[in-house]
């Protein structure tokens, strides 16, 4: 886990659309305020932005959220690959490469698969 300052800096510099994540975090905070009161707002934001940094924030979200930023799309593709890379051998690899090519983000991703 990273401290709040480092996470905030990463969100601003790397995520390129920090307002998307801040809006989502505030919505989640308001939606779950009873649960959050047990461990505090600061801990909630730290955990939320850690999940964004680690790329695990996309789990269980609708397509529109995943499509909202390049980081979300990349995180989804990484999670997809981690889940299915051992299941179908070359078939899944070909599907994944095709998915990346359709998206237009093929550069580093195809190198990762080789």
Task: Name residues of the chain where pLDDT drops below 70.
Answer: 1-5, 7-16, 87-93, 96, 99-114
**Tokens at 15, concatenated:** 């995520």
Name the burial class of residue 5, with classes exposed (0-12), middle (13-18) and buried (19+) by CB atoms within 10 angstroms of its CB: exposed
Question: What pLDDT, on the 0 to 100 scale, is given for residue 30?
Answer: 92
Question: What pLDDT, on the 0 to 100 scale, is given for residue 70?
Answer: 82
Question: What pLDDT, on the 0 to 100 scale, is given for residue 100?
Answer: 66
Question: What pLDDT, on the 0 to 100 scale, is given for residue 7?
Answer: 66
Question: What pLDDT, on the 0 to 100 scale, is given for residue 46?
Answer: 86
Question: What pLDDT, on the 0 to 100 scale, is given for residue 49?
Answer: 85
Question: What pLDDT, on the 0 to 100 scale, is given for residue 68?
Answer: 86
Q: Is the C-alpha dihedral spanning 43, 20, 60, 104 positive or negative?
A: negative
Residue 38: what are its φ and ψ, rounded to 5°?
-70, -35
- Going by C-alpha positions, the residue among 11, 29, 109, 113 that lies closest to residue 69 is 11
Question: What pLDDT, on the 0 to 100 scale, is given for residue 71?
Answer: 84
Question: What pLDDT, on the 0 to 100 scale, is given for residue 77?
Answer: 81
CA dist 29 and 87 (Å) reads: 36
Are 70 and 76 contacting, i.e. CB atoms less than 8 angstroms apart? no
């Amino acid at each position: 886990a990273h401290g709040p300052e480092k996470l905030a800096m990463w969100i601003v510099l790397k995520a390129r659309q920090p307002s998307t994540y801040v809006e989502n975090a505030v919505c989640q905070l308001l939606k779950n305020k009873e649960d959050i009161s047990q461990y505090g707002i600061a801990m909630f934001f730290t955990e939320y932005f850690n999940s964004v940094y680690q790329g695990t924030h996309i789990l269980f979200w609708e397509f529109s959220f995943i499509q909202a930023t390049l980081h979300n799309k990349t995180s989804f593709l990484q999670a997809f690959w981690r889940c299915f890379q051992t299941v179908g051998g070359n078939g899944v690899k070909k599907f994944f490469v095709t998915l990346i090519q359709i998206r237009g983000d093929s550069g580093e991703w195809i190198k990762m698969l080789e």
